Amino acid sequence: MFRSILPRLAVLIALAQVFTNACAAADSSDPTEHAADFIAHDFRFSEGTVFPELRIHYVTLGTPQRDAHGDIANAVLLLHGTTGTGKAFLTPLMRKELFAAGEPLDTRRYFIVIPDGLGRGGSSKPSDGMRTKFPHYGYGDVVEADHRLLVDGLRVRHLKLVLGTSMGGMQTWMWGERYPGMADALMPIASQPIAMAGRNWLWRQMIVGAIRSDPGWQDGNYTAPPTQWTRVMPVFTLITGNAARMQEQAPDRAAATRLTESIVTDAARSDPNDVLYWFESSWDYDPEPNLGAIRGRLFAINFADDLINATDLGVMQRLIGKVPQGRYVEMPETAQSYGHQTLAHPEVWKPYLIQLMNGTNGTNGT
């Protein structure tokens, strides 16, 4: 009798475990997470082109809370970097460090909006079909498209925070200037409020030139994507990484060669016209003259081992004083830093976000 019962009991236990695992998986997902597309009608680009229907893909986390006037009062905007999409903020690490219960952007408290910037991800971009006939957008157009998403699409007219990394950091400076009364706080991470020049412009031009001079590019009208330009993309890894972390990742010649080839392979997954527009779109970026217009609390974070935004240029020391409520931190290189890519490690810079959200953004310093 017991022999006949034991196999059935084992099956029941196994089924119960499967059910428990399924429930745990369901509980670990965010039920407030939603993805959608916003269509901006008759969107006018800064170069003059009017786009009948511009698509901006976005994800929201959390639930809108409304004030006595019916306006959303708990919105946060997150802006990603040049080669990324909104998914950069949806990694397990970001969710754990930023959005979980008790964390600085707890989704029980905040309504978080994460768009794919114009030209990237699920938003309108050259590879949708227009190729190089797509309007030559600038960062100002990316900012305006996201503003249309908030105001016209989601009816968000006020923000608790704008936080951006790399390109998103640059656009955070622009948000503070263009819409000075819209955000209570701003956190540009791994960026500087000056026009592209020097090393920052040089490495971008290496990639742009490699695409435009690739025989297979054919002025963007290729039948098969050109690939020679992908051999230049390791320069992006060189300038955005940390030397010590890279040595750990590739400790010998064979490992370094494999890393190089993996970078080239990954680059080939992106459409060359999209990439070209990514790196050329910084042509209109120059927030320096209007820094005094920013009214929200601003806490800029830079990393000492970030070669793109070299702290030894003294840019932040010279300019942060022009921002009425501006503060900055230059984080030193440590065993927990990753160069420019430290932006993807919120556990490193999260303490300063907590200060900013609490209204105690500290003092200027390193």
- What are 178's two structure tokens? 């263009």
The pair phi, psi for residue 37, each rounded to 5°, is -120, 140
Residue 8 belongs to a domain: no
Residue 267 belongs to a domain: yes
Residue 341 belongs to a domain: yes
If we measure between CA atoms, which residue out of 106, 116, 122 comes closest to residue 61? 106
Is residue 69 located within the same domain as residue 150?
A: yes
Q: Is the pLDDT of residue 323 over 90?
A: yes
Can you give the residue range of the structural domain that contains 254? 199-280
- What are 72's two structure tokens? 């959303």
CA 235, 238, 241, 245 torsion: positive or negative?
A: positive
Is residue 182 located within the same domain as residue 109?
A: yes
Is residue 241 located within the same domain as residue 136?
A: no
Q: Is the pLDDT of residue 6 over 70?
A: no
Q: Please indicate, yes or no, whether the overall pTM of this predicted structure exceeds 0.85.
A: yes
The pair phi, psi for residue 329, each rounded to 5°, is -135, 130
Domain stop point among 280, 299, 321: 280
Q: Tell me if 132 sits within 8 A of 211, measured CB to CB.
A: no
Q: In this structure, how many other beta carbons lie within 10 angstroms of the beta carbon of residue 351?
A: 12
Is residue 66 located within the same domain as residue 209?
A: no
Residue 64 belongs to a domain: yes
What order do you get walking across the sheet with 326-331 strand by strand? 34-44, 50-61, 111-115, 75-79, 161-165, 185-189, 297-303, 326-331
Domain stop point among 252, 280, 308: 280
- What are 102's two structure tokens? 């008790």
Q: Which residues are 54's β-sheet partners?
A: 40
If we measure between CA atoms, which residue out of 181, 163, 205, 168 comes closest to residue 294? 181
Flag the least confident range among 22-31, 70-79, 84-93, 94-103: 22-31
**What domain count does the chain have?**
2
Is residue 110 located within the same domain as residue 217?
A: no
Task: Kindly give the pairing relationship between strand 161-165 and strand 185-189.
Answer: parallel
Mean pLDDT of 197-212: 94
pLDDT band at 360 (very low <50, low <70, confident <90, very high): low
pLDDT of residue 322: 98
Q: CA 50 to CA 76: how far, in whole Å?
A: 29
Is residue 48 located within the same domain as residue 82?
A: yes
SS3 at position 100: coil
